[in-house]
Amino acid sequence: YFVADEQWSTETVMLKGEQAHHIVRVMRMSPGDVIICIDEGGQAAYSRLAHVHPDEVTCQVEEWLDADTELAINITVAQGDLKADKYEWVVQKATEMGAVTITNFPADHSVVKWDERKSAKRQARFAKIAREAAGQSERLHIPAIERKESLASLTEEASTYNHLWIISEQSAREGNHYALADALGSVKAAENILLIFGPEGGFSEREHLACTRAGFVPVSLGPRILRAETAPVATLAMLVYHVEL
Ligand code: SAM
């Protein structure tokens, strides 16, 4: 799967830069070979390579596909800043599991304090990981990679979601393990859900209180405390099971 860098018409798409390089130098494809291209609107098509150059590949669309691999709900995963390698893993796995938006924010107990001046470069790397994971998972939507300056910017957007969950160790320690069944049961197709996860150091009491005051449901994943990067994957697996299986 490749994502069109330019689309000239409904029949002609162009791939540039890294994607063109991958087709020509890594996959060693030639004119006449077929790839699957996704246009800006998420529509996929069998596309036959016409002109092939390591900087630029032009394809003729042969057949538009109607396969829909997207989840029926729109999931936003927001996580307090993790060490970069762990967050990269979260971006990759959340993309495989069907998240639509993946967001990070500086949390009170984040072990890493990221230099915001380098944010654009770092976020671009996360976007590349999401793009590659979306391709491998045959998704039609590449998750948006966003950064929020604080948890407050997420809670301010609360009204734009149908469901707000804070997946917290506080909830696990209170033995609140059955909240998830109720929370899952209330999720229906086409709804928007915001999931907030803590960093390696967990949520501060201030953050937890701010979220519950803003209407977030505290959710436990059971009495075992999971690694911060495991929690989003576990939660997404349950949502996928609830929505699709
Ligand atoms: N110290 C470990 C680490 O370095 O990854 C575990 C950190 S755990 C406190 C980090 C986050 O994972 C929590 O803020 C929460 O979002 C989520 N989490 C882990 N286990 C959980 C559980 N049993 N129930 C709910 N959330 C959990």
β-strand pairing of 12-16 with 56-65: antiparallel
Dihedral sign (CA 144, 100, 210, 115): negative
Residue 144, both tokens: 């948006």
What's the pLDDT at 27? Answer: 86
Tell me the per-residue pLDDT of 163-179, one tens digit each, with 9 for 90 and over. Answer: 999 999 999 999 888 78
Tell me the per-residue pLDDT of 106-140, one tens digit each, with 9 for 90 and over. Answer: 999 999 998 888 999 999 999 999 988 988 888 87
CA 88-76-163 angle, 5° bins: 150
Helical spans, DSSP H, in 14-142:
17-21, 84-97, 119-136
Tell me: ipTM over 0.95: yes
Q: Residue 14: what residue type?
A: M
CB atoms < 10 A from the CB of 42, how many? Answer: 13
Atom of ligand 1 nearest to the CA of 229: 5
Rounded distance from Cα 200 to ligand 1 centre (Å):
7
Rounded distance from Cα 148 to ligand 1 centre (Å):
20
Residue 79, both tokens: 């996580």
